Structure 1
Amino acid sequence: MKLRALSAVVAAFVVVAAGAVALDLELSPYKVVNGLSGKLKSVGSDTMHHEMELWAEGFQSIYPNVSIELVGKGSNTAPPALLSGDAQLGPMSRQMTPDEIAAFQAKFGYKPTAVLVAIDALAIYVHKDNPLPCISMEQMERVFAADPKSGGGKSIRTWGELGLTGEWAAKPIAMYSRNTLSGTYKFFKQHVLSGADFKDDIKMQVGSEAVVSAVGADKYAMGYSGIGYKTAGVRAVPLSSGKSCYDASFDNTYSRKYPLARGLYVYLLKDPKKPIDTLSGEFVTYVLSRDGQTQAKKGGYYPITRNIREHELTRLGLLASAR
């Protein structure tokens, strides 16, 4: 199963030399401006909701006259909220679809702007006592897809079919998934199932944390969620898309050896012929600073590089003021 490029926005995502990752993570601190006030509203990703809370708290600690309202019900809710003017910020754990982008262009005459704000590994979680050493992308398709194309179309339904023995062998795999509002759901469906439908007996959850909690409470479960939601009750199983298996570590995610690396985005409405509005611009500048990326790490995600930061700030016309 081939991992698609994350887009031109993440051209600076990976710098690989001789199998090792060479990354410049020395980011500049945030530069405070005077007299900032106003209201921001963010509507979108549940995966990013905790991260948005950390960024909002950090930003408001600097600017007590700024209020930020956060709604995190799923990436699918971000485009309509931006389109209607209900929100200025649209966090998404996937990229917008061509149809979503076309709707913006039809209304505003320009496309929405995606800002890469952190890196995530979409983890495959099992119960902490589950001994499964590795799972392939092909096997995952056969576990989750209603009509798998791999393995001669044969579904995998028990842990024994993944190589486990003893008490595990005959036990059915209880599958947990995000719901259809989720960008994580759409990402998994695209990159693991190649667009195919999930099995009918999959247990859909309203949030990323709920998936991990359900897997931690069910010894024979498997589910998927962002690496930032890992708890002591679950294991993130290493993945393979070829002969070698890779865990969801920082290095493996950035080098894309881990097959389910992805960008996390905040979408904005920015007319390319006009400067970005001051409040949204300062919030994004904070998120892309050393201060904001410290919060990204605190939330369990992987920080951006200096190249990504400068690339994003340049596109927004903010680099000079952020240095």
Structure 2
Amino acid sequence: MGNHFHPAKVLCFIVLLFSVPLQAKLIDYQKQPSLRGQINSVGSDTLSTLMDEWVSEFTRLYPRVNIQVQASGSSTAVPALTEGTARFGPMSRPMRDSEIDAFKQAHGYPPVQLKVAIDAVAVYVNSRNPIDALTIGEIDAIFSATRRCGLPQSIRKWQQLGVSEDWSQRTIQSLGRNSVSGTYAQFKDLALCQGDFHRQVNEMPGSASVVESVGRDISAIGYSGAGYETSSTKIIGVIGFDNQVTYPIYQDIVGDRYPLSRYLYLYINKAPNIPMQAAEREFLKYIFSSEGQAIVEKVGYIAVSPEVAESELSKISSASLGE
């Protein structure tokens, strides 16, 4: 282990993270003459900013469409969809088999899964922290009780990572999301090699609160979505199993090099062969349009490819959309 000083070109990093080249072949959205309706969405906190931006722009086009968004965690999407209190369920992880089974038992058909964006779970430290990158094994040893990624002992002090004397006796304060969060589940799978968190990880209710807390505590380290960096925090590189330093930036994510990246999902309660409401149909078309995916990049995520956009919309055929 070591302190892994891999100086990053900060300006370049920011540009790459937030100015991803938009795919040229995404279809422009065509506004309809008139539209009204109601959409209820319950689910991921990670997708809250993205959903809010989509809703803001869509309702600007269609003032008579009322969209209610409740962002209380990915796990809350499943009961809302199953019980019928919402027809849209944003999730930052795939539904589990048991969740799909519960939905099918209630409705007689499975929910429709749509990949709406690409996200990366980032590891944050305080901006004053000298660490610039960590291996997957070190991240696992900091956050987990099981250390399935290979290190023989837990890491609880910054001294164990080879930092300077000023930091040598500081105890690591580890922060993360709560168990209803899809980010929690994804980090558990990807960074802990499907192991378990140790009890000292301080669970936070929201993505932004994790990063804000890291910014207030120079001894802290936390994980959250990649779009939440502040002036008092920094995103560190992740050294994968191939010993390459990678970051949650476009080139590393789409090149399948960054080990903590994932799709973000929108699950739909859509009965086969029954037309969707016009407002729901148009909202989905907007999400996968060039304008909708430009918003994905605006908030710090990665747009899906034109091929993915076409494939996801094809899951709901023109006939079943009522066109």
User: TM-score with structure 2 length normalisation?
Assistant: 0.88
Query: Structure 2 matches for 1:123-202, cutoff 5 A?
Result: 123-202=122-201
2:245 is aligned to 245
Post-superposition Cα deviations, 1:291-320, rounded to whole Å, max 9, x if no partner, equal 11111112111111111111111122259x
Q: Distance in 2 between matches of 1:260 and 1:310?
A: 25
**Alpha-carbon spacing, 1:119–1:255, altered in 2? closer, same or farther (3 Å):** same
Q: Distance in 1 between matches of 2:40 and 2:22?
A: 33
**Alpha-carbon spacing, 1:152–1:134, altered in 2? closer, same or farther (3 Å):** closer
Q: Distance in 2 between matches of 1:55 and 1:150?
A: 38
The alignment partner of 1:316 has SS state of coil
| Superposition deviation, residue 152 in structure 1 | 5.0
1:283 is aligned to 283
2:55 is aligned to 56
The alignment partner of 1:68 has SS state of strand
1:65 is aligned to 2:52: no
| Superposition deviation, residue 92 in structure 1 | 0.5
Q: Distance in 2 between matches of 1:125 and 1:53?
A: 24
Amino acid at match of 2:256: R
Q: Distance in 2 between matches of 1:318 and 1:123?
A: 38
2:93 is aligned to 94
Q: Distance in 2 between matches of 1:224 and 1:50?
A: 17
Contact kept? 1:25, 1:305, Cα under 8 Å = no
Q: Distance in 1 between matches of 2:162 and 2:95?
A: 38
Gaps of 5+ in 2: 1-19
Contact kept? 2:137, 2:151, Cα under 8 Å = no
1:236 is aligned to 235
Contact kept? 1:174, 1:221, Cα under 8 Å = yes
2:6 is aligned to none
Amino acid at match of 2:141: R
Q: Distance in 2 between matches of 1:200 and 1:314?
A: 44
1:77 is aligned to 2:76: yes
| Superposition deviation, residue 126 in structure 1 | 0.6
Gaps of 5+ in 1: 1-20
2:298 is aligned to 298
**Alpha-carbon spacing, 1:205–1:316, altered in 2? closer, same or farther (3 Å):** same
Q: Distance in 2 between matches of 1:183 and 1:171?
A: 30
| Superposition deviation, residue 25 in structure 1 | 4.2
Amino acid at match of 1:247: Y
| Superposition deviation, residue 34 in structure 1 | 2.4
| Superposition deviation, residue 109 in structure 1 | 1.8
Aligned positions, number: 301
1:310 is aligned to 310
The alignment partner of 2:67 has SS state of strand
Q: Distance in 1 between matches of 2:249 and 2:69?
A: 29
Contact kept? 1:141, 1:148, Cα under 8 Å = yes
2:11 is aligned to none
Q: Distance in 2 between matches of 1:25 and 1:92?
A: 27
Q: Tell me which moved more, 246-255 or 57-66.
A: 246-255
1:6 is aligned to none
**Alpha-carbon spacing, 1:103–1:225, altered in 2? closer, same or farther (3 Å):** same
Identity, % of aligned positions: 37
Q: Distance in 2 between matches of 1:115 and 1:231?
A: 30
1:116 is aligned to 115
Post-superposition Cα deviations, 1:249-292, rounded to whole Å, max 9, x if no partner, equal 11111112000110011100122333433222211110111111
Amino acid at match of 2:84: G
Contact kept? 2:44, 2:71, Cα under 8 Å = yes
Q: Tell me which moved more, 229-238 or 144-153.
A: 144-153
Q: Distance in 2 between matches of 1:289 and 1:244?
A: 34
Post-superposition Cα deviations, 1:228-250, rounded to whole Å, max 9, x if no partner, equal 11222211111122211111111
Q: Tell me which moved more, 305-314 or 158-167.
A: 158-167
| Superposition deviation, residue 95 in structure 1 | 0.4
Amino acid at match of 1:279: A
Q: Distance in 1 between matches of 2:39 and 2:223?
A: 31
**Alpha-carbon spacing, 1:272–1:26, altered in 2? closer, same or farther (3 Å):** same
Q: Tell me which moved more, 87-96 or 100-109.
A: 100-109
Contact kept? 2:138, 2:155, Cα under 8 Å = yes
Contact kept? 2:111, 2:269, Cα under 8 Å = yes
Q: How much is the aligned-residue C-alpha RMSD, in angstroms?
A: 2.0
Q: Distance in 2 between matches of 1:286 and 1:76?
A: 25
